[in-house]
Amino acid sequence: MKKLFVILTILALIGASAALLMSNRQKQQEQIQEAQKPLTTVVSIETVARQTFTEAASYIGKTEFWREVQMNATTQGTIRSLNAQLDETVREGQPIVTVDTELTEIALAQAGAQLRKAQTDLKRYETLHRENNLPATDVENARLQVTTLETQVQTLKKQLRDAVVYAPISGVVTRKDIERGLFIAPGSPLLTITDVSAIKLVIDVPEAELNLFRPGRAVAIAFDMYPGKTVTGTVHYIRLKGGETGKFPVEIRVANSPATPLRVGMTARVSLPNATLLSGLAIPRTALVTTSQQPAVYVLQNKQITLRSIETGATTGTILLVRSGLREGERVVVSGTEGLTNGQTVTVNE
């Protein structure tokens, strides 16, 4: 009897051990199956909607002089006085060059004497022609000689009047080709005067945006030389001839002031707030899949995502306009796109 009890006890222990082993094996199998299940990916989504907003426009240009005159001599002689130096300011009407007129006066006296003689000869020739003692061609030649000498006398008189050269505009002498004592002749370069009381900023504007630059409009301008400061300019003129890229030069007048002295050749930026009206389907820029070679987004349908290529448009801030590839009301993934695959099941972060 005692032996039977021992046998039964041993059999019970063996059964319990087998049951424990089977239970542990089943738990291990369940753990393996649970580990093999794909991890749930949580994403955030946004609904594709139509939006309308304005965009600021910016244009870069360079400054040019407002007016500039290159002065040339209209008389001949030696410069007796020079009342303007390089980089000096001159006033309109100010006498700046005086030319010695001695040679011109001598030439005028000679031309006057020749003219008087030619006029006397013409009268005599006309009398002889009326008496049929002189051919008509000689009379015509005498008249031509008188006309030529009259023109020469008038030219020399003008050169005498031009012996004093006056500044045609107010400005700064930016080039000086003469010195006192230099002999000049008609056509000789004298000075270049540049008017910098205002400067002209020239920017290139696309044809479709020319309506933003009607003459007289005030615009804000920022110069690279004066960071943090803006000055006001006025649209002056749209040039008739555009460039090969379809842009037209627009001239903006900017007054020169001691607070922000302006020079020719400076770089500036013209900004127009709310210049362009944009409208279309919009999505956050974060929806773009960075691992795609072409612009693409993940579109959510029935808890599954589909990678779809899109054509993008303008960008403003964090918003991206979509030209094609999406429909209004569709939902796109805007966060957690890293590591996603086409056709994957995801959980939406509500």
Model-wide pTM > 0.85? no
pLDDT of residue 136: 87
Please report which confidence band the pLDDT of residue 21 belongs to, taking 50, 70 and 90 as the band edges.
low
- Residue pair 333/340 in contact by the 8 Å Cβ criterion: yes
How far is residue 346's CA from residue 340's CA, in Å, rounded to a whole number? 9
Whether the predicted pLDDT of 8 surpasses 60: no
What is the three-state SS of the chain?
Answer: CHHHHHHHHHHHHHHHHHHHHHHHHHHHHHHHHHHHCCCCEEEEEEECEEEEEEEEEEEEEEEEEEEEEEEECCCCEEEEEECCCCCCEECCCCEEEEECCHHHHHHHHHHHHHHHHHHHHHHHHHHHHHCCCCCHHHHHHHHHHHHHHHHHHHHHHHHHHCCEEECCCCEEEEEECCCCCCEECCCCEEEEEEEEEEEEEEEEEEHHHHHHCCCCCEEEEEECCCCCCCEEEEEEEECCCCCCCCEEEEEEEEECECCECCCCCCEEEEEEEEEEEEEEEEEEHHHCCCCCCCCEEEEEECCEEEEEECEEEEEECCEEEEEECCCCCCEEEEECCCCCCCCCEEEECC
**Confidence grade of residue 320 (pLDDT, cut at 50, 70, 90):** confident
Average pLDDT, the chain: 85
Query: Do residues 47 and 331 make contact, with C-beta atoms less than 8 angstroms apart?
Result: yes
- Cβ atoms of 349 and 303 within 8 Å: the answer is no
Compute the C-alpha angle 33/37/40, nearest 5°. 150
pLDDT at 292 over 60: yes
What tokens does 37 get?
């299940």
Lowest mean pLDDT among 11-15, 195-199, 247-251, 305-309: 11-15
Q: Which domains does the chain have, with CATH numbers?
A: 42-53+278-348 (2.40.420.20), 58-64+196-276 (2.40.30.170), 101-162 (1.10.287)
d(CA 164, CA 79): 10
Phi, psi (deg, nearest 5) at residue 179: -140, 160
- Give the confidence band of 211 by pLDDT, cuts at 50, 70, 90: confident
The lowest-confidence range among 41-45, 139-143, 152-156, 191-195 is: 41-45
Is the pLDDT at 258 greater than 80? The verdict is yes
Q: For residues 153-171, b (16+ Cβ closer than 10 Å) or e, as one string? A: bebbeebbebbebebebbb
Confidence band (pLDDT; 50, 70, 90) for 33?
Answer: low
Using one digit for the tens of pLDDT, what is the confidence trace for 54-111?
777 889 999 999 999 999 998 888 999 999 999 999 999 999 999 988 888 888 999 9
In whole angstroms, what is the distance from residue 138 CA to residue 129 CA? 9
Q: Evaluate if residue 201 carries a pLDDT over 90.
A: yes
Decide which of 2 and 139 is more confident: 139
208 has a pLDDT exceeding 70: yes
Task: Round to whole Å and give the CA distance between 155 and 151.
Answer: 6
pLDDT category of residue 12 using cuts at 50, 70 and 90: low
Phi, psi dihedral angles at 224 (to 5 degrees): -60, -30
Q: For residues 72-81, b (16+ Cβ closer than 10 Å) or e, as one string?
A: ebbbbbebee
Residue 34 in this model has a pLDDT that exceeds 60: no
Determine whether 237 is exposed, middle or buried from the number of CB atoms within 10 Å of its CB (0-12, 13-18, 19+): middle
pLDDT category of residue 267 using cuts at 50, 70 and 90: very high
Q: What's the rounded mean pLDDT across residues 256-265?
A: 90
- How confident is residue 217, by pLDDT bands cut at 50, 70 and 90? very high
CA 274 vs. chain centroid, Å, equals 18
Give the residue among 272, 337, 342, 269 at the shortest CA–CA distance from 301: 342
What is the mean pLDDT of the segment spanning 22-48? 67
Instruction: Determine the pLDDT at residue 51.
Output: 86
Q: Which two tokens stand for residue 338?
A: 């890293």
Average pLDDT over residues 298-313: 89
Distance CA 14, CA 11 (A): 5
Q: Which residues pair with 235 in a beta bridge?
A: 252
pLDDT of residue 233: 94
Contact 171, 90 (CB under 8 A): yes
